Amino acid sequence: MTAVSHPAGAESADPAELALLAETFRKTMSAASGQVLDLALDQLGWRDLLASLPGVAIPMVFRLLGETGAHAPILNDVMLCVAGRAPGDTVPLPYAGGSWVVWERSDWRSGALDDELPLRPVAGDGGPLPLPLGAGRRAVGWWLVGTGRAMLALARSHALDRVQFGRPLASFQAVRHRLAETLVALEGAEAALTAADALGGASAGGLAGDDELAALLAKAAAGQAALTAARHCQQVLGGIGFTAEHGLNRHVRRALVLDGLLGSARELTREAGARLVAERSARRLVDL
């Protein structure tokens, strides 16, 4: 593994170099998870990349976590970066329903639905959030989309391989339409996340709070898309998708847990509605 460094403050990076970097991240995530992956990502330059090119680092790395099914406690780094603190520590994260969790940087086995994730519930006062959540919501949003893509890939190959009534499942329109619906939801969420990344990176232009609102809407769309993917893909996979030995259930668990992190799709959708009611008009947020 080679460490990749980036000049701080660089506005963009060479696409070929980024593709190579993404490939390296992907290989690493396919081989490691948790604490080991946390250390490996640091060695690969994750923290430097986050500091210098957050608009590149967040979509690339979090989406890959979803696609590969790996996990690492690096949402902490994103939040610490927002707080102007050094990476490597932990920070309490709001969870759905007013709960708070700490994403431990160890391989502690939690009691979460997705017990691979070392999420420790902590007491929170439910008071005002100490930090803007936009960057973190974009990160979890990309992770949800990646998880959705992983589920879609599993369901797609099953539909092509599995034969019933003498035909592949993929030849049945009911199955095809579920998978098509899944792709539509994921593509839409990805577009919303891309727009939120652009607004999150631009300090000038737009109304105050546009970046936070765009991140909120994108996280809502991403959570919804991942839940849509979980429902359709589990149905397409049939019985095998309900077994513990098939990989789908890990992604389903992850999607459910990540949806609640930094606000669930349901909560954020309602918050978007409350904003709309308060402002009496819908912010356009993105323009040609």
Partner 1 sequence: MSELSVAEFRAGVRAWLDSHDLSVSGSSVSGSAEGSLDGQVAQLLRVRAALYDAGWMRYGWPASVGGLGGPAMLRAVLGEEVATRDLAEPGIYSMVEVLTPTMIAYARPSLAASAVPLLLSGREQWCQGFSEPGSGSDLASLSTRAVARSDGAWVITGQKVWTSLAQYAARCVLLTRTSPGHGGITAFFVDMSSPGITVRPLRTMHGVDEFAEVFFDEVVVPGDRMLGRPGDGWRVATDLLPYERSTCFWHRVAYLYSRLDRLVEAASSASSGSAGGLRGGGVVADDGSWDGADVAALGAAYVALHTLRCRSLVTQRRLASGGTLGPETSVDKVLLASAEQQLYDTARDLLPGMVELTSSSWRTEFLYSRAATIYGGTAEIQRNIIARRLLDLGME
Residues between 9 and 38 that touch partner 1 (CB under 8 A)? none
x/- site string to partner 1, residues 107 to 146, per CB under 8 A?
----------------------------------------
Question: Which residues sit opposite 95 in a β-bridge?
Answer: 99, 261
Residue 215 makes contact with partner 1 by CB under 8 A: no
Please say whether the beta carbons of 187 and 231 come within 8 A: no
Q: Name the minimum Å distance from CB 163 to partner 1.
A: 13
Give me the half-sphere count of Cα atoms (radius 13 Å) on the Cβ side of residue 3.
8
How many chain residues are in contact with partner 1, going by CB under 8 A? 44
- Run of H or E including 46: helix 46-52
Cα separation, 201 vs 218, whole angstroms: 15
Exactly one of 192, 215, 230, 252 binds partner 1 (CB under 8 A); which one? Answer: 192
Taking CA 136 as the corner, what is the angle to CA 102 and CA 38, rounded to the nearest 5 degrees? 60
- Select 114 or 190, whichever has its Cβ closest to partner 1: 190
Residue 160 makes contact with partner 1 by CB under 8 A: yes
- Select 3 or 204, whichever has its Cβ closest to partner 1: 204
Residue 168 makes contact with partner 1 by CB under 8 A: yes
- Select 64 or 221, whichever has its Cβ closest to partner 1: 221
Exactly one of 13, 36, 82, 183 binds partner 1 (CB under 8 A); which one? Answer: 183
Exactly one of 99, 132, 162, 181 binds partner 1 (CB under 8 A); which one? Answer: 181
Enumerate residues 6+ apart whose C-beta is below 8 A from 69: 147, 150, 247, 250, 251, 254
- Main-chain dihedrals φ then ψ at residue 284, nearest 5 degrees: -80, -30
Cα→Cα distances 19→53, 190, 202, Å: 14, 18, 23
Provide the terminal-to-terminal Cα distance of the chain, rounded to the nearest Å: 41
- Select 51 or 195, whichever has its Cβ closest to partner 1: 195
Q: Which residues bind partner 1 (CB under 8 A)?
A: 156, 159-160, 168, 170-173, 176-177, 179-181, 183-184, 187-189, 191-192, 194-195, 217, 220-221, 224, 266, 268-274, 276-277, 280-282, 284-288
